[in-house]
Structure 1
Amino acid sequence: MNEEERRQARAFADLSYEGFRELAGRADLSRYQRIGFPDSLRAGREGAIFDDIRAKLPALEARRGLTVLDIGPGCSDLPAHIIEACRAQGHEIILVDSPEMLAALPDAPFIRKIEGPFPDCAPALAGLSGQVDVVVCYSVLHYVFAAGPLFGFLDAAMGLLRPGGGAMLIGDVPNASMRRRFLASAAGAAFHRHYTGRDEDPVPGFNQPSEGEMDDAVLLSLVARARAAGVDAWVLPQPPELPMANRREDLLLRRP
């Protein structure tokens, strides 16, 4: 990652729903930058990300005629992979995002677009309670965490899952605790020097609050919240070839 991409990563760290709307309309940005990533973290990598998504949500390609919901799909290659999988399997897919992001995605009879942030757009999802087979929410949850309320988002999404196996992947969740553990290792120190371009070791900062960041406590509280609501939930690792596997994890939920 060069200095310009490091600058972009810092600028993208604090985006809001309105901030993403502004990025989506900028013709001077790549499709990856419009979703808040430097090119080096997504260009040529979204096929591998999709492979991981479909491995964790096997119903997406193993079954036909499902109802699929993608919360915050953005406008890069990843939603194109998901949309194509839905077309091939005869699924209906519902895309929830800003008008600007949705305008960059294709229109087709099996695609339904709903404008607005989730769960504020819940009235447009009326009738889907307990009717959704697969929910994908990728690289979104940390922005929800910043805007709040996190449990309200989770509860609304879980309420859409179909009993008997409806599944949701909340993917690519930053974990400050995981990042600290990584930076405390020799591999993490080498990564830090390469990333920053400076010959200095990182300071992991154990035993201090993760102010403004998601950490083990936040992720595990979401697992506990889901399980208390009658939904099975697990924290899963990302495969090592994904761009941020050393500091991000996935949450998988399934309604029995």
Structure 2
Amino acid sequence: MTIDFSNLGFDDFRRMALDNTLSQNEKIGFPDSYRQGFEERIFEDINKKLTNLDLRKKTILDIGPGCGPLAHLLLEKGKNREHHLILVDSEEMLSQLPDNNNNKKVAGHFPECKENLQTYVNGVDAILCYSVLHYIFNESSLFKFIDTSMELLSPGGQMLIGDIPNISKRKRFFSSQPGIRFHQNFTATEEIPSVSFTTIEPGKIDDSVILSIIMRVRAQGCDAYWVPQSPQLPMANRREDILILKP
């Protein structure tokens, strides 16, 4: 089966979650070469930013955990730290994750499922949304996603919107000498990547989208920071994160 990983949506992931011909990484939209062997490094980078994960008996929300190795690392940490984990994803995807009496599975498309999360308003100590924002950007309301998340976050809470594919950062990289070499090694050609800084690409997140998120969050009295990924991560040269702190 050939998968177009560049053009996936919520319904595609529902179908892929139950396809046993796919690997765990393929079920969440990644070729194995993009994620396999990097999960521990990715989780370490997440923990350095979402420091509330290291506390005990906290309420943690994962928006779109999928069913890959990263979700299992969070489940393991949640069990060890006695966290209450709230996992929001499709019913099909959640069915691939183990049940735990201290965890809650919420089937739905965030933020449209916000009515099922009302008991957690101002009560979530850490929110993780990793490798998901670009799907929300194309299928939902970006500001509704932000506003709903801010409603759920507790005082002192943290949110990491991680692994954001930023087309502006990608263009900057592929216009540089290291980026050109990366492209040529990846394609096994002498081709120079085609980059246009003045072209808006519909459906793609760029610097303006990230800045709008930061400004929207700050307008609600929270701090928001544009932060890089660890250079050891597989797509750090073209992806980045947003860290949000609620005073």
Matched, 1:254 2:245: yes
Matched, 1:196 2:187: yes
Matched, 1:230 2:210: no
Looking at structure 2, the residues matched to 185 and 132 of structure 1 have their Cα atoms a distance apart, in angstroms, of 41
Aligned partner of 1:22 among 15, 19, 33 = 15
Alignment correspondent of 1:172: 163
> 1:25-59 CA deviation, whole Å, 9 max, x = no partner?
11111000000000001111111100000000111
- Classify the secondary structure of the residue corresponding to 1:127: helix
Which structure 2 residues correspond to residues 1-256 of structure 1 after superposition, within 5 A? 8=3, 11-61=4-54, 63-163=55-155, 165-256=156-247
- Classify the secondary structure of the residue corresponding to 2:213: helix
Aligned-pair distance for 1:195? 2.3
Aligned-pair distance for 1:90? 1.1
How many residues align? The count is: 247
Looking at structure 1, the residues matched to 96 and 67 of structure 2 have their Cα atoms a distance apart, in angstroms, of 6
Amino acid at match of 1:104: Q
Amino acid at match of 1:176: I
Structure 1 residue runs of 4+, over 4 Å off?
Answer: none
- Classify the secondary structure of the residue corresponding to 2:240: strand
TM-score with structure 1 setting the length: 0.94
Looking at structure 2, the residues matched to 143 and 191 of structure 1 have their Cα atoms a distance apart, in angstroms, of 26
Aligned-pair distance for 1:13? 1.4
- Classify the secondary structure of the residue corresponding to 2:85: strand
Amino acid at match of 1:78: L
Looking at structure 2, the residues matched to 244 and 174 of structure 1 have their Cα atoms a distance apart, in angstroms, of 9
- Classify the secondary structure of the residue corresponding to 1:133: strand
> Over aligned residues, Cα RMSD in angstroms?
1.2
Looking at structure 2, the residues matched to 25 and 200 of structure 1 have their Cα atoms a distance apart, in angstroms, of 39
TM-score with structure 2 setting the length: 0.97
Aligned-pair distance for 1:242? 0.6
Looking at structure 1, the residues matched to 144 and 41 of structure 2 have their Cα atoms a distance apart, in angstroms, of 31
- Classify the secondary structure of the residue corresponding to 1:82: helix
- Classify the secondary structure of the residue corresponding to 2:232: coil
Looking at structure 2, the residues matched to 151 and 195 of structure 1 have their Cα atoms a distance apart, in angstroms, of 36
Aligned-pair distance for 1:192? 1.1
- Classify the secondary structure of the residue corresponding to 2:184: helix
Looking at structure 1, the residues matched to 216 and 7 of structure 2 have their Cα atoms a distance apart, in angstroms, of 26
